[in-house]
Amino acid sequence: MKQNIAAQTPLLNPRDVDFLLYEWLNAEELTKRDAFADHSKETFDAALDLAADIAVQKLSNHYKDADANEPTIQPDGTAKTLPETKAGLDAINEAGFTFAELPADEGGIGLPSLISKAAFAWMQAANVSTTVYSGLTLGNGNVIRSFGTDEQKRLFLEPMIEGRFTGTMCLSEPDAGSALADISARAEPREDGSYAITGTKMWITGGDHEMTENIVHLVLAKVPGAPDGVKGISLFIVPKYLVNDDQSVGDRNAVNLVSLNHKMGNKGTTNCLLSLENATGYLVGAENRGLVQMFQMMNEARVAVGLASSAIGYTGYLQSLEYAKTRVQGRPVTAPTGPQVPIIEHPDVRRMLLAQKSYVEGGFALALFGARLVDDAHTAPTEEERTAAGQLLDFLTPIIKSWPSEWATRANDHAIQIHGGYGYTRDYNVEQLYRDNRLNAIHEGAKAIHGLDLLGRKVPQHGGASFGALLGRIEATAARAEKHEELAPHAAALRAASQRAVEVTMALGGTGDPALSLANATSYLDGLGHVVVAWLWLDQALATYAEDGAAREDAFYRGKRAATQYFFVYELPKAHTEFDLLAKLDRTTLDLDTSVL
């Protein structure tokens, strides 16, 4: 893709995007598959360049304004956003990026997920609060595409593909967030086959605005006589406006905006408390299957969160790097009477820059690796390959969502620190980037939920085959790396960490006490997440070597190896700290008398 984009606005490094796509993940190989036969590297690059142009021209231009001017409720009870927000969303939709992965005969571009996600990352880096409208619409539309009737697809999906409607997911309620078994929204069947939906939904991103003709809500609710718990949840399409047979917008449905939530970050996005009062809804699929269906959207959203978090961290890193090169402050300890130097000359600033580089480029690689698995799960040549890719993606999803959410946000914290006092002001973007990124460890499943999911469900599923497949890939990378003198110590360290992960996993699985095994599941998520990212860093480092085994020596490739070195020296030992704690089967938090807090 065009290499002058970063000079305009530091969002992502286009050289890194090219490396990850074409030198590491072999994106061009995808054009040999029937699903992507109409594409080429040229069409991939055109999509990436267009996304970067939209990011610079239509999204970054109102990033700070949207933060300073939150949406408001108008006298008619609807939410109003900045005109620039609508212009940005329109640009995304007109370019076809929301549904870029759909086949052309369904209104899409037919891009691989790998290219689509890389393109979307440019826009997330520029302005996540505007791009989220598009991301949620994609997830919503994919659920309807998978489980809806032909009529539902015609009335609701087609207008979303055209950019006329947006979509949301309405799961949480004021008293039921992560614990969806406790939702109270109810759906009463009507004689015409529709349902009357009554309840309150909280934290609904994009729940109301004036930017499109209609908003299609996917709402979780329970029908009369439904089983208790999550097995009794059904899924309904509840549009803001009823839709006529010709896809035109009809009467207002009984979905009302009660209030807007005022957030720490992502202020340009409406986040709503919605009240449904006998609103007309249409069942998606069968009754009591709602959560299973919605999880498709949630899993897509979770991968998107990891990508967004990496992108936000990435732009913060690049901005702090530019600042460190130009901000003159202090003198080296070896020349106390000499002239002041740019702060990038100070070792601790370099440490924070290397840390950011390792976190954001590592997280970005992780998210794009997940996107490549999506493509392989759908289009790999054999059923065996497709199944293996799908199972590995499912296993890694908690890590893809949670690791960047934690560590790319840590990168944003470092970016503020590098800016010093200026970083704490609105004069620079880094404080806003931190505020925007802080959400990502909370929404689409709080971090602890993903720790429980990883250790309690993903590790034992398929008889441990998915975990075994991951270990096999790690070993394959280590075996290749040990042949290079510079990388051999990292190969040994990676093997030791992965073996320690196996030992701890077996110890936790053998307690016979689920509460004890899962008490520190978040530590397990942190530890295994670091092992996975270390593996991906070592795999990237291997891609910096020529076919004859010689290390490529231009600054970009040396930067990849430097970040790998940093991660293995400074970061991978943190995995052992987590594993050591887990091996002790510590009961501190489990047995705590909460009255002492």
User: Which residues form the catalytic set?
Assistant: 444
Please choose, from the candidates 127, 119, 48, the residue with its C-alpha nearest in 3D space to the C-alpha of residue 87: 127
Side chain identity, residue 162: E
Sign of CA dihedral 512, 474, 401, 99: negative
Whole-Å CA distances, 114 to 149, 371, 539: 29, 5, 18
Q: Tell me the one-letter amino acid at 366.
A: L
Closest of 437, 488, 179, 136 to residue 308, by C-alpha: 437
CA-based angle 554:334:353, to the nearest 5?
A: 40
566, two tokens: 């940093």
**Separation between Cα atoms, residue 21 and residue 27, nearest integer Å:** 5
Q: Is beta strand 165-170 parallel, antiparallel or unpaired with respect to 214-221?
A: parallel
Q: Which of 528, 531, 523, 529 is nearest to 490 (CA)?
A: 531
Pairing state between β 271-283 and 234-239: antiparallel
Q: Using CA atoms, how far apart are residues 318 and 430, in angstroms rounded to an integer?
A: 10
Residues belonging to the chain: 597
Distance CA 62, CA 569 (A): 40
Say whether 98 sits in a helix, a strand or coil.
coil
Place of tokens 């969303």: 89
Q: Is 72 exposed, middle or buried (0-12, 13-18, 19+ CB in 10 A)?
A: exposed
CA distance 57 to 540: 31
Q: Cα–Cα distance between 276 and 252 in angstroms, integer?
A: 12
CB atoms within 10 A of CB 458: 22
SS3 393: helix
Q: Using an 8 Å Cβ cutoff, are 281 and 427 in contact?
A: no
Pull the structure tokens for residue 527.
Answer: 């530890």
400-434 burial: b if 16+ Cβ within 10 Å, else e: bbbbbbbbbbbbbbbbbebbeeebeeeebbbbbbb
**Phi and psi dihedrals of 42, rounded to 5?**
-65, -45
Give me the sign of the Cα torsion angle 148, 154, 155, 159: positive
CB 324 within 8 Å of CB 353 = yes
Q: How far is it, in rounded angstroms, from Cα 34 to Cα 25? A: 19
Distance CA 474, CA 567 (A): 16
Tracing tokens 């890193």 back to the chain, one arrives at: 317
